[in-house]
Structures are given as C-alpha cells and as structure tokens.
Structure 1
Amino acid sequence: EPLPRAFFARAPLPRLGSVRDKIEGLAAAGMQAALLLRFNATLAALSAEDFVRWALLSRCGAREVWVGEDFRFGHARGGDLALLRRMGAEAGFAAHPLETHQHAGRRISSSAIRAALAGGDFAAAAALLGRPFTIGGRVLRGQQLGRLLGFPTANIRLGRRVSPIQGIFAVRVHGVAGHTMPGVASLGLRPTVGGREVLLEAHLFDYAGDLYGRHVSVEFVAKLRDEEKFADLDALTRQMHRDAAAARDVLALSFPISA
C-alpha cells in the first residue's frame, strides 16, 4: 500500500476499496494473517531477486507462493512466475499460478468493475466483485446543513481515497443497529454549497438515531442523477425531495430491504 500503479501515477487513482475493506475481505475468506508492505521508493528500487530473498524467504519463510499468471514484481517489473519457480527450486519453495476468473465469458478485473460502476450498472459490478459495491467509513459531524433542510445525513470523508463514482444514489446503509437501512446518498463536492472535498452524505429513511462515531458501510444500489449546482437552497431542497422519492421507489420496487 499504496498500489504501485498509484505510487507512480501523477494523479490519484480511483479505488474499489480501502485497505480496511481488503483486510476484512481476506479475514471473511478465512485468511489467518496478512503482511502489508508500504510501497515507497526503496521498495520500488528492489530487484525481483532481492524481494524474493527479503520478503518471501527472510520475512515469511515461504513454502508455497501463489500468484496470478501475468503477475510481475520487482524493479522494472523484472520478476514473474518463471523467476519464482527458478528461485523456489533452489530455496525450497514451490510457486503456482492462480487461474484467471471469468464471469459470463468476461475476465474479472478492476478495470471492468470500474467501467460497470461508471456506467451505473451496479448489478454487473456486484457480479464481478462477488458482492455489492460499498464505501465504508466512520460517521463524522458535518455542517448540519442537511438537518436544517430536513435531510439529516451520515457524513463520511473519503480522505485520500478516490471514488470511482460520483452523483446521487439510492443506497442501503449497513452497520446501523444490526439492520440494513434504505436511504439516498450524495457523493461528490456539493457544488451548491461550495464544497471543496469529496464527501459521502447518506440520508437514512425513517431513522432518527445518532450515528456519530459509528463505522458504517454504504451500499450503492442505483444511480439517480449526476451532481448539479442549484440556484439556491430552496431549489436544492426541492430536488432532494425528488431524489428521496425516486430512491424510495427504486428500493421498494426492485431491491426489497431486509433486516
């Protein structure tokens, strides 16, 4: 962490999940331990052979290594499965390829998932991910503007994360009193009120509890529209009512809510 591609990129890259999401997913799949390496200039300069000696042998004492068939590692992407097998034969570990997974004849990749999300096809994204697309975080106290407008929201800052989507969405919120709550959410800069950072604001339908400090997960069900700058707060409020009604329709008709 960060991803090598993100480390070398000139602009932040959209991510499908946070480090916490990855670790929770690994734990749910039965992984007992994970080693997280900070990718920096020192690691980027490490040759593939030195990485094997330092990380796989010295740090991990590896007996088996499993990587994707097209996996590359080390300085200038100099290492691959063939190198792992050669060094493994000498050092006493075995290297194996992981098969590429497909869905409906299509290779599952982060690029394909981001493309589905960008097109608003959350069902396709969920099929490729193996789960619904979500963004999680701790609920922070905001400017209370939503409450003044009649739409109190749970606010989650993305920080350095870059979301692959922005706009207004019908959502489900997980982590609230053991239930899944339906709602409507805004993810973006909030141009009408002069927002300067991307913020996820989720309004939970028919809920009046206090969520501050709680870690919740927002599941995106359907995109309702793009962000828009309105002339004033009255115009924004009217649109928020329309968005809430549209989200209720989507969630009630197509995606029943369960506890």
Structure 2
Amino acid sequence: MNRLFRDPLGAPLCPDGSVVCIGAFDGLHLGHRALVDRAVARARALGVPALALTFEPLPREFFAPAARPPRLMLPRAKAEGLWALGCDAVGLLRFDAALAAMPAAAFVHGVLAARLRAREVWVGPEFRFGRGRAGDLALLQALGAELGFGAHAIAPVELDGARVSSTRIRAALADGAFAQAARLLGRPYAIAGRVVRGRQLGRDLGYPTANLRFGGKQPALRGIYATWVHGVGTTPWPAVASFGTRPTVDGVEPLLEAHLFDFDGDLYGRRIAVEFVARLRDEQKFPDLPALVAQMDRDAAQARALLAAAPPRRASA
C-alpha cells in the first residue's frame, strides 16, 4: 500500500497486526536487505502488512548536529527503496527530544504494541533502542512475551570476512572504491533527486549542469566524478559531476552538479539518479574562472574516456 507515516504514537495503523523491522537503513545495503527480506517473508506468511521503522533525522544527527555522520541516501530515497523491497508501510519516525527521552519499555508498549499491533519484530545484530540505548533484543523478547509478539534478530551479513555496514560503505566511497561500495550495497552507488535551478554559472562557462540538493545532510563523498545519469533517456547518460560546496564561486550548501555530455534539453523538475563510477580529483579552489574552465575541460575529457571503458550498470534511485 506504499504508506508513509511520521508519528510514533497515535491510533492503531494495523488493527489486524503487522510484522515490523527496525533499523537506520541508510544505504539499504546487503545487511539491511536481508533484514527487510526476512520481515516481508514473515508478513506474507502471516497475511499481515510488513512495516519498516526508521528515524529521521538519524539519532546520531540529532545528538551531534555539529558532527553529523555522512548520509548515504536521503529520506525519500530510503522510503522508496523500502517499498521496492516489499514493505507495505514505512515509518520515518520523527526523532526529536520526546522520542529521544522515551524509555525502551514505553516504545515497545506505545509504538510496537499499541500503534503497530506487531505480531513479530525483526532487528539487526546488536540492535539497541530507547532512552540511553537501554533496550535490546532481550528486552524486546521479554516484553513481547507479555504483549503477544515475537522478537528476533537476523545473523550478521558478511562480505570478505567482515560485517556489511554503512560505515564500510562510507569508507569505500571516500576512497573512490565504487566497485567495493557496489558489492556491499548490492548495486552501484547513486544519489537520486529532483533537478533544481542553480545559479546557472555552469551554463555561462560552457558546462550546463543538472543540480541536485542533498537536503541539508552531510554527504558521504565530495569531489569530481565520472558518472552515469539515469532517468534522462532510455539508457544511462554519460556525465561528469561535481559534489561539494563550489569554493571557487563561494558556494556553501553541498550541491551535486552533473554535466551531461552532448545533452540539449530542459531537466528542471525531472527526477534523476546519478551513479558514481570513478573519482577524478578533490574539489579545489582556483584563482579565477579561466583556470576553473581549463580544469573542467580536463575533467570532462578524463570522464569521457573512463565511461567509454565502463558500460553502465543498473543503479537504484
């Protein structure tokens, strides 16, 4: 039913019960997918909706706004990804002072039992929740026995002898190791969004761009990249992209700017996905615009050559 809800408390959403999975789900990597797949399969077996619970902002963003962790995906892309994996409803629960102060037992009673009528709850390894992160699987199981639901944790998903995690993916992206990130994600890394208007300086410099904002979040990568852009034509479109704060022109907010090679058209308002293929260089400040354009020429030539040797793969929005 592709339902989205934000409030942790309120009237029951699933009067006949549900199967719930809980996690940050940033990136929807192989470990997240294993958790969601298990919950969806159990929901289908029980004939009830499958619900995914996550938090927005993420708890780490709420508690440390000055040192926010890099995000792999934006909330809309996360919800769409969870729906695509079979979830019937997604709870992007507002993580605010009230939710941060909610004791673990109150979360179980008020959210899982009363609002969602959970029949089963599935979590990842080492899951913690509630005020002070006092809740764990053992508490879920103990309270579930009283309230009529079962609680279970999936086994860790490992790749190359280590657990698949968002932390590993962020490190791979920072290193420009996109093939490794794709293995951990189960798909190429891409950022999706709706094209917005920028300052149009790129057009004046001969490099018009399709611009995506990152919702005020901290991105997991910055620099200049060879990319494929999905959602423009019947096949992915080759492009060179910059993701950063544009120091030469005094930018502030992180902005993803993709210059599509040999493209002539209006993309404003179009939803696209930018798949990252190779890292070309760091973002840097140039002494003047001619120096910037000369470097952009070199970046474009390098990106064209790399993409000619790297046919596009399927990317997720």
TM-score after normalising by structure 1: 0.96
Q: Per-residue deviation at 1:69?
A: 2.6
**1:196 CA drift (Å):** 2.0
Query: What amino acid is the match of 1:9?
Result: A
Matched, 1:6 2:61: yes
**Whole-Å separation in 1 of the counterparts to 2:217 and 2:116:** 29
Instruction: Quote the residue 1:75 is aligned against.
Output: 131
Aligned length: 258
Task: Give the Cα–Cα distance (whole angstroms) in 1 for the partners of residues 215 and 126 of structure 2.
Answer: 32
The whole-number CA distance in structure 1 between the counterparts of 2:187 and 2:313 is 16
Cα RMSD, aligned residues only:
1.3
- 2:69 and 2:161 mapped to 1: Cα distance? 27
* Residues 1:163 and 2:243 are matched in the alignment: no
CA offsets 1:191-244 (integer angstroms, 9 cap, x no match): 111212221110001110110111111111110000111121111111111100
What is the SS of the residue equivalent to 2:90?
coil
Select between 78-87 and 174-183 the one with higher mean Cα deviation: 174-183
Q: How does 1:170-181 map to 2 (within 5 A)?
A: 170-181=226-237
Structure 1 residue 27: Cα displacement: 1.4
Aligned to 1:109: 165
Report the counterpart of residue 92 of structure 2 in structure 1.
36
- Residue 54 of structure 1 is matched in structure 2 by 110
Q: Does 1:140 align with 2:217?
A: no
> Given residue 98 of structure 1, which amino acid in structure 2 is its aligned partner?
I
- Which of 269, 275, 281 is residue 213 of structure 1 equivalent to? 269
Secondary structure of the residue that 1:169 maps to in structure 2?
Answer: strand
Q: Distance in 2 between matches of 1:3 and 1:78?
A: 17
For structure 2, the 5+ residue unaligned runs are: 1-55
Residue 227 of structure 1 aligns to a residue whose secondary structure is: coil
Provide the C-alpha distance between the structure 1 equivalents of 2:118 and 2:288, rounded to a whole number of angstroms. Answer: 61
| Alignment map for 1:227-246 (pairs within 5 Å) | 227-246=283-302
Q: How much has 1:159 moved relative to structure 2? A: 3.0
Structure 1 position 29, deviation (Å): 1.1
The separation in 1 between residues aligned to 2:63 and 2:287, in whole angstroms, is 40
1:84-120, CA deviations, whole angstroms, 9 ceiling, x for partnerless residues? Answer: 1111111111111111111121210111111111111
Q: Which aligned runs of 4 or more in structure 1 are off by greater than 3 angstroms?
A: none
Displacement of 1:258 in angstroms is 7.2
Give the corresponding residue for 2:248: 192
For 1:39, give the aligned amino acid. F
One-letter amino acid of the structure 2 residue matched with residue 48 of structure 1: A
Q: Aligned to 1:119, which of 170, 175, 178?
A: 175
Q: In structure 2, what is the Cα distance between the partners aligned to 1:132 and 1:19?
A: 18
Please give the TM-score of this superposition, normalised by the length of structure 2: 0.79
